[in-house]
């Protein structure tokens, strides 16, 4: 590099001890033929061992770039970083690519969003897993082969011994996604960044995978950043949430606080745009008007102002900063919603409830009084 299972049971312990990851004012800028594009702008957060942070936002909000910026895997020729990324006390932004490569897999790992491009197309699945195990853990060929099959079993791949001999093109999208998860967990990393890991999975398998990740996180005191469009996953599987828009964090809070009392109009709009089972057939969706802004030509003031139903002149003239209210709930908005003692918004004590199949799978274990649905056709691909 050049110069965020059902609600975790160990949340209390996660809040103590030295931070696993500290990100401070991290900005990522791409040099393109059309000029400079700032994909991440002044991102700051802390992740502790055993903690899961959710990152949510529309496509193009900078979620995936954030994960790759933390790892330092973006092309150095076209990418510039500013700010600080400290992992277990070590500054990553000053490390060479060779030094970072020693951490990838063994300490820092990421489940990529597209499983087809994340796997080597000309190598069998078992070989790809075994290569990583031999490199990072020093296993023998036979040990690595047996461990690769066990990892495939752990991520619920049917007939893992036979599947280990398959090439990526012979597997469905759901199975390929599970293989990338097995690859990411193979060397027991301390930090896992999971980028849209449930997109290609059906609801039941997604719940099994998330349960597996939650168990492994607890057993290893692993920190996890869960990037997802699925608000049901975010609501039931994270300790804290970062809402991103136009490359910035616009709202940050504990999961319970954010879903019970969303303060940024964008967060409120995301929750309000999800279809509910209580709606009658053919009820129009509450879509967010407009489109995300061009990161190369951001508007003056608040980036969400052109799409915000509550925007005022100040919003169009002055960019709001992310301000913490003293309780850990921070929002970048001049006129935040649902403030304590305010009648603006849904009210601080009114939990946002949106029914969702994913949340129902683990309803009996769910300590967060929220359930949210995706309705995504992609989630129905079983991958068997």
pLDDT value of residue 112: 84
**Per residue in 189-220, is it b (16+ CB within 10 Å) or e — as a string?**
bbbbbbbbbbbbbbbebbbbbbbbbbebbbee
d(CA 51, CA 214): 10
d(CA 171, CA 129): 15
pTM over cut 0.75: yes
DSSP three-state, residue 219? helix
DSSP three-state, residue 83? strand
Distance in Å from the first CA to the final CA of the chain? 39
Structural domains in the chain, sorted by start: 11-243 (3.40.50.300)
Q: Which two tokens stand for residue 230?
A: 């699925």
Sign, CA dihedral 206-209-211-213, equals negative
- Mean pLDDT per 10-residue section of the chain, whose length is 384 residues: 42 60 96 92 95 94 94 91 94 91 90 83 94 89 93 90 94 86 89 86 81 86 91 90 96 95 94 81 85 90 94 95 93 90 49 37 37 36 39
The strand ranges marked E within 305-365 are: 323-324, 330-331
pLDDT value of residue 22: 97
């Amino acid at each position: 590099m050049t110069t965020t299972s059902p609600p975790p049971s160990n949340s209390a312990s996660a809040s103590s001890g030295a931070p696993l990851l500290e990100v401070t004012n991290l900005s990522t800028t791409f040099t393109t033929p059309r000029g400079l594009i700032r994909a991440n702008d002044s991102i700051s957060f802390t992740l502790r061992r055993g903690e899961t942070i959710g990152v949510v936002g529309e496509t193009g909000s900078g979620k995936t770039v954030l994960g790759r910026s933390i790892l330092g895997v973006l092309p150095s020729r076209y990418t510039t970083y500013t700010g600080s990324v400290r992992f277990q006390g070590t500054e990553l932004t000053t490390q060479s690519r060779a030094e970072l490569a020693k951490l990838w897999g063994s300490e820092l790992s990421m489940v990529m969003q597209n499983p087809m491009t994340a796997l080597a197309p000309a190598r069998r699945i078992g070989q790809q897993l075994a290569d990583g195990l031999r490199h990072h853990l020093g296993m023998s060929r036979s040990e690595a082969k047996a461990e690769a099959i066990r990892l495939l079993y752990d991520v619920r791949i049917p007939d893992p011994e036979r599947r280990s001999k398959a090439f990526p093109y012979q597997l469905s999208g759901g199975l390929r996604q599970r293989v990338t998860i097995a690859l990411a967990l193979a060397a027991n990393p301390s930090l896992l960044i999971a980028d849209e890991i449930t997109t290609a999975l059906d609801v039941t398998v997604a719940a099994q995978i998330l349960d597996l990740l939650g168990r492994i996180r607890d057993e290893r005191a692993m920190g996890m950043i869960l990037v997802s469009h699925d608000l049901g996953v975010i609501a039931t599987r994270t300790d804290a949430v970062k809402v991103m828009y136009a490359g910035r964090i616009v709202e940050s809070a504990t999961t319970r606080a954010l879903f019970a009392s969303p303060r940024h109009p964008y967060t409120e709009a995301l929750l309000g745009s999800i279809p509910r089972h209580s709606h009658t057939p053919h009820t129009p969706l509450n879509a967010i008007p407009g489109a995300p802004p061009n990161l190369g030509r951001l508007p003056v003031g608040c980036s969400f102002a052109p799409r915000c139903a509550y925007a005022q002149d100040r919003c169009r003239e002055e960019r709001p900063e992310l301000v913490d209210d003293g309780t850990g709930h921070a929002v970048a908005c001049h006129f935040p919603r649902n403030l304590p003692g305010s009648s603006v918004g849904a009210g601080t004590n009114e939990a946002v409830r949106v029914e969702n199949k994913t949340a129902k799978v683990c309803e009996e274990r769910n300590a967060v009084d929220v359930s949210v649905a995706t309705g995504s056709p992609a989630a129905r691909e079983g991958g068997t």
